[in-house]
Amino acid sequence: MSEAVSRSIAIFLEGYPTIFVATIAFFIMIKLLMKSTSRRNEK
């Protein structure tokens, strides 16, 4: 059981940063889209 737990923890630690980076990239994309739309509306 200890091996399975250690493997699951390792997978979680490896997968969590990727999810964290993906969420940050998603928010950055939203901000860029908001800026582009605001520029289009101003024109």
Radius of gyration for the chain, computed over Cα atoms and rounded to the nearest angstrom:
19
Residue ranges of domains in the chain? 1-43
Residue 41 and residue 9: Cα distance in Å, rounded?
Answer: 48
The DSSP call for residue 43 is -
Which tokens go with 39? 């520029």
Model pTM greater than 0.75?
A: no
pLDDT above 80 for 42: no
pLDDT above 90 for 33: yes
Residue 24 and residue 36: Cα distance in Å, rounded?
Answer: 18
Go through the chain and tell me how many residues it has. 43
